[in-house]
Amino acid sequence: RKSSNNNLPYPPGPKPLPIIGNALDIPRDTPWKAFAQWRDRYGDIIHLSALGKHVVVINSNQAAIDLLDKRSANYSDRPDIPMANMTGWTAINIGLIHYGDTWRKHRRLFHQKFRQGMVSDLQPLQTQKARELLSNLLHSPEDFREHLRHFPASVIMYATYGYEIAPHNDPIVTLVDEASKMITETILLGAQVVNVIPALRFLPDWMPGTGFKRVAKACQEKVNNMQDVPFETVKRQLNAGTAVPSWTTELFEENAAQNGGKPDEALIKGVAATAFAVAADTSASSLASFVLAMTLYPEVQAKAQAELDAVVGDKRLPDFGDRESMPYIEALCHEVFRWSPAVPIGVPHAALEDDVYNGHFIPAGTMVLANIWAMTRDERAYTDPSRFMPERFLTPEGKFSDDPLPTFGFGRRICVGRFLAADTLWISVVNMLATFNFAKAKDSMGQEIDVNFGYDDSLIRHLEIDQVETVVHQQLTKTLF
């Protein structure tokens, strides 16, 4: 358990076997829960190793702040993830690009578009799309899961490409969904054996156990299409003079001006495709968690609706201008992000240099996983953490207290879309609460049926919920649509 370089121990963790280390200990299913359980045994920082690779799991917010925020110059790299490299996703996705100039170039573009002062430009679009969400819920409440996915997808697709997605089975959304699903299911450490033993990628394709190569190839095709199809459409429209102004057209113009009339198409394509892939799924996950919370905690829903009734009344729908006056709903949205983080194990960081933390050695190159799920469920930080309780983010005077959450990650790699994500959740939540009740479905005898729900195991987790009823809460909806 001692490192060879300086005789300091690695952080505690399960005992490694010779050569393969902890390769067999790395959990495949819900790793965030398994790692959280290990906390009782090994503490807030856990060390694993596999074939010379080091992995550190951080299970507490304080340790994540100490390392990933305060020492972010050292912990802002990303590790090589063999499946992500093999699918071509690393080359274009800012979230996986190594720390350095290329990452800075991508990050600058995202920051310019989605920083706090800029996202308000997208609020009229979000408001319009939130109203469409209400209309969809009204017309086919039984399809609420699909509508909740459609809403953030429609915002980001229009903002990025000026593209109006079809109400059902949109071909581009289907393409991106398929690609994202494949990617997020394969890049977690334990998801494919090659992620733990990278040398396996050099085995010939005919050898048993190399099925991951077929998965990577299929995924690569989808990654390419997902970049090319919407981008080529905008390019054609630009040439024909029919393009709707969008982030892609802005990037084209700006980048062409900077590069003597020749825009860096690979950069623009990658940035635009990444925006859709990371923004739509994460926000849809939070929206589904909101519906689950309202169904399980009707008293919270009633309180939020009372606040809306007092501030907005029942003659109009809420908009961003009402936000400051509704601290309970602000706290409720914050609680959704805490109660059910969409990216429970974050995106892995990597150490650039050797480091020592609390007497433990963390070698250069270590993959560092921030167990966001464990942090949001940490009893030392939150009383009764599995309970959905917006009040935890209100001061005794009833003001919203904006306590930073681990949900959006840490340091220089913190989620660059967090302000957009917060606006997306807020505008849809207020509009839905103003017009609908979410409740447990009832059986033929009028008895409530228990909600059936479960999250999957992927990097961005998806919620499946059943036995939820979407009931019109105010006549308002009927007059509006």
Size of the residue set binding ligand HEM (CB under 6 A): 28
Touching ligand HEM, residues 28-57 (CB under 6 A): none
- Position among 26, 94, 219, 226 found at the interface with ligand HEM (CB under 6 A): 94
Structure tokens that stand for 363 in this block: 């070698």
- Cβ closest to ligand HEM, residue 112 vs residue 386: 112
CB atoms within 10 A of CB 316: 11
d(CA 6, CA 178): 47
Touching ligand HEM, residues 388-407 (CB under 6 A): 407
Structure tokens that stand for 58 in this block: 């951080």
- Cβ closest to ligand HEM, residue 196 vs residue 271: 271
- Cβ closest to ligand HEM, residue 432 vs residue 476: 432
- Cβ closest to ligand HEM, residue 235 vs residue 349: 349
Touching ligand HEM, residues 106-125 (CB under 6 A): 107, 110, 114
Element (H, E) at 123: helix 123-139
Q: Is residue 347 involved in binding ligand HEM (CB under 6 A)?
A: yes
Element (H, E) at 423: helix 418-435
CB of 291 to ligand HEM, least distance (A): 14
d(CA 455, CA 473): 28
217 to 83, 175, 349, 361, 421: CA distances (angstroms)? 10, 15, 25, 38, 31
- Position among 413, 461, 462, 473 found at the interface with ligand HEM (CB under 6 A): 413
Q: Is residue 283 involved in binding ligand HEM (CB under 6 A)?
A: yes
Contacts of 162 (CB under 8 A, 6+ apart): 234, 237, 243, 244, 245, 246, 248, 249
- Position among 408, 426, 436, 455 found at the interface with ligand HEM (CB under 6 A): 408
Pick the closest to residue 407 from 394, 393, 422 (CA basis). 422
Task: Candidates 161-169, 191-199, 233-241, 279-287: pick the segment binding ligand HEM (CB under 6 A).
Answer: 279-287
Q: Is residue 88 involved in binding ligand HEM (CB under 6 A)?
A: no
**Residue least distant from ligand HEM (Cβ):** 417
CB of 336 to ligand HEM, least distance (A): 9
Q: Is residue 215 involved in binding ligand HEM (CB under 6 A)?
A: no
Pick the closest to residue 151 from 388, 421, 346 (CA basis). 421
Q: Is residue 279 involved in binding ligand HEM (CB under 6 A)?
A: yes
CB 367 within 8 A of CB 49: no
Quick check: helix, strand or coil at residue 248? helix
Q: Is residue 421 involved in binding ligand HEM (CB under 6 A)?
A: yes
d(CA 125, CA 275): 16
CB of 113 to ligand HEM, least distance (A): 8
Beta strands at 452-455 and 355-357: parallel, antiparallel or unpaired: unpaired
- Position among 144, 417, 437, 476 found at the interface with ligand HEM (CB under 6 A): 417
Name the residues that contact ligand HEM, by CB under 6 A.
Answer: 94-95, 107, 110, 114, 275, 278-279, 282-283, 286, 341-343, 346-347, 349, 407-410, 413-417, 420-421
